[in-house]
Chains A and B, each alone.
Chain A
């Protein structure tokens, strides 16, 4: 190896990155809803669209949605689109999975737009668009985003 080909990869630089992302009122109310096993969305006062998870601004009409007037969606919904993952991307690296993972875009009853979630309890080959599914919550809940564990067929 010539000096020009040398690569420095072994250094451990003592830098630790800490981020503290504030969730804001919309997502705070959403997470508290999950803690009660309820899925909440925000409703646009102009176009009536209900988005899950809730957020402040409707991109269609630039209207401000109400953080306190969230509406309950689901827990049942319909698979709009899906993919079967044979890998996972873990900290930027592709890792092969022993068991495939189904990721589904689920339009919850009462919602206008899909929510991305894991779909379990069904063979990947049996997943289809239009399939009815329902939310499964962690039990007991912990007031965290991950309280909405996954979906399974109705």
Chain B
């Protein structure tokens, strides 16, 4: 039973998402997105009742960074909560803001997410996920940089993602060229988006000219590491009526689900198919039910998928029920995933083109919200009216999924 409607009233990005923000420190960078979110909503710091805050823990070697960022996120004297769930952190942080408002505890909550990846070492951070396993390997005399161990984790996240891509191609009937094509589409979308990191119109041939990292994934199939922050203002229905012109994006469905983390457990072998992604089905089914969506393949007007790697946009469309299994690549061939297609997918360029990790899973619903409100800056504005949109976050150890459905109308209670 939903007790109250909740909306995203505004979004604030840092002015750019780039590989290195040399001109500011972390707190200063985050404060830019917070100030922009207030500016875009016409709110003052006093209007904010509470703050939810998240980034990818450990990547920059920072424990509880909200503590010394308190004034820069305008949190002093306010309730504040630190959320972190890995790659999904951005959406988990936004979901926390949703629950804070839906609970009736607070009316206006600011959700802040960020990453300054240039200041840390992301691959070392990711390797921290398998540290205990690596310790055991070394203890048993196994070579971390040779043989089976390397193939699973030596290539960092790309090494593990290659298994997923292979399984996906096998089960879907898609060709490796479809990954190239999806990559070219999203990079070209990103070229239109002023807040994207890699902004270069890219052809299939450009992608195919990049070297393989681990078959079937090429360098051109992987995301960048970015510096940037995103802030969303989340509001109760009552405050939307009182304090806005009503042009907001309503959060009508949400879910999150996990699985077992054995996907990359190379000592015990591959227990779970990394392309199965059962949590995506569980989380999306829950979100659609809440949002009153019966057939997502017909009812959704756009999708923003969390895709660290280019094959994933196709895979997630299937897992989230936006099309049947094995059909995403056919939609791609038919142009349905283009910005002017039937189900524009990652019109923003996706995580694949911009990846300030902690913010990446917030940028997905933020992009949906901006498209719904018609407030997209840049050429990636979808030409049709967006009524219902699905956004998705992915992370953990390949096994954690968040979903948020947004709409131009609130749910009828």
Contacts and interface: CB of A to CB of B under 8 A. Distances in A.
Interface of A: 8, 10-27, 55-60, 62
B267 interface: no
A8 B136 contact: yes
Given A8-B139, A12-B138, A58-B71, A22 B121 contact: no
Chain A binding site: helix, strand, loop or mixed by DSSP? loop
A25 B23 contact: yes
A24 B23 CA distance: 6
B25 A24 contact: yes
A8 to B, nearest CB: 5
B219 to A, nearest CB: 22
Contacts, number: 78
A6 B211 CA distance: 45
B119 A22 contact: yes
A57 B72 contact: yes
Interface of B: 21-28, 31, 45, 60-61, 70-72, 74, 76, 116, 118-121, 124, 127-128, 131, 134-136, 138-139, 144
Given A8-B139, A11-B139, A25-B23, A16 B71 contact: no
B121 A21 contact: no
Given A24-B28, A57-B31, A57-B71, A13 B136 contact: no
B120 A22 contact: no
B167 to A, nearest CB: 28
Contacts of A57: 27, 31, 71-72, 74
Nearest to B121: A18
B153 to A, nearest CB: 11
A13 B135 contact: yes
Nearest to B123: A15
B138 A21 contact: no
Given A8-B135, A11-B139, A20 B119 contact: yes
